Amino acid sequence: MLSRFWLGLQHNSGRYMYLSINYRPAALLPELITIPSTVQKLHANFDLNNLFKLDTATRLANKGYAVYGIDYEGHGESSGQQGYIPSFDDLVKDCSDYFISVCERQENKEKSRFLLGVSMGGAVVILLHRREPNYWSGAILLAPLCKIDDKMKPPAFLISILKKLSKIIPTWKVIPAKDMIDVAIKSPEKRQEVRSNPYCYKGNLPLRTGHELLMVSLDIEKNLHQVSLPFLVMHGGDDKIIDPSGSQLLYNSASSSDKTLKLYPGMWHGLTFGEPPEIVERFFSDMVAWLDQRTCMKDQDIISS
């Protein structure tokens, strides 16, 4: 079952309306009746959030998982200037406030709480975990933004200039952004589907957005050891948008005792959208198997206690 509703959230940059989407299973599968899990979904920056949500969330709901998603400020159908991130801290706080409120509803209080993030959404997931280190049951990270490619990392003096300019002319769309669609999605038909969607951002990055993404990625890379929750990181071996070495670094650095890294040779950045159907099926099978194992583990703990 699909539900769409609007939220009014207040933060330092003003009041914004956010689109929230909830996918709930029509009937819980037998093995999930005692612990049907809630999966919070966070989307990629400038990716096709709507189609990702529809496919991924529907698949998870069909397996017995309730899925809640939100469009960030300036993304998807939420209000704000398209593609503009005035404050990553505010973005994360908005997600935290909403998702925790969902988890604290009476019908969700006894459920497991997983986060799912793609690309920039992976960075948001990591920061949500850092805000509440013991709150979340686990996370699934798809090609997460957790490290800037060393070849693309600007020198310190350029970072200083970017910081100053982003305060003076924050919305100036001057940072070149290569056409990600052609290198993110294999299928020509799916590429066209993305290009024709009005909610998919196309164009240069605003100065403030570029600065926020840079600073967040540098901060996350420096503090990957703080990641302590159970997680599954999945990354395409031929990803040209976010280097798979970042996922490897996350796996190596995280203090989590329960961590899994899956690299998929030949797959691009659009892991769930644009790959051959049989590859996508295997990908989702791995994802659901990981979730099922951890919800069953919790069930066993409840029984033994």
247 is written with which tokens?
């996922």
| Active-site pick, 37, 119, 217, 247 | 119
Q: What is the pLDDT of residue 285?
A: 96
Q: Is 269 a catalytic residue?
A: yes
| Active-site pick, 75, 211, 235, 269 | 269
Q: What is the pLDDT of residue 61?
A: 81
Strand partners, 116: 41, 140
**Helix/strand/coil for 167:** helix
18 is written with which tokens?
């956010």
Q: Is 119 a catalytic residue?
A: yes
What does pLDDT average to over the chain?
79
Q: What is the pLDDT of residues 86-110, one digit of tens each?
A: 889 988 998 898 889 888 888 888 8
Q: Is 187 a catalytic residue?
A: no
Q: What is the pLDDT of residue 32?
A: 30
Q: What is the pLDDT of residue 80?
A: 67
156 is written with which tokens?
């310190």
| Average pLDDT score over residue span 185-193 | 85
The CATH code of the domain that includes 168 is 3.40.50.1820
| Active-site pick, 37, 239, 243, 247 | 239
Q: What is the pLDDT of residues 38-77, one digit of tens each?
A: 565 555 444 434 555 567 878 888 888 888 887 776 666 6
Q: Among 35-39, 101-105, 149-153, 217-221, name the most confident range.
A: 217-221
Domain that residue 275 falls in: 2-304
Please say if the pLDDT value at position 35 is more than 50: no
**H/E element holding 303?**
helix 277-304
Count of structural domains, the chain: 1
For residue 3, the tally of other CB atoms under 10 A from its CB is: 10
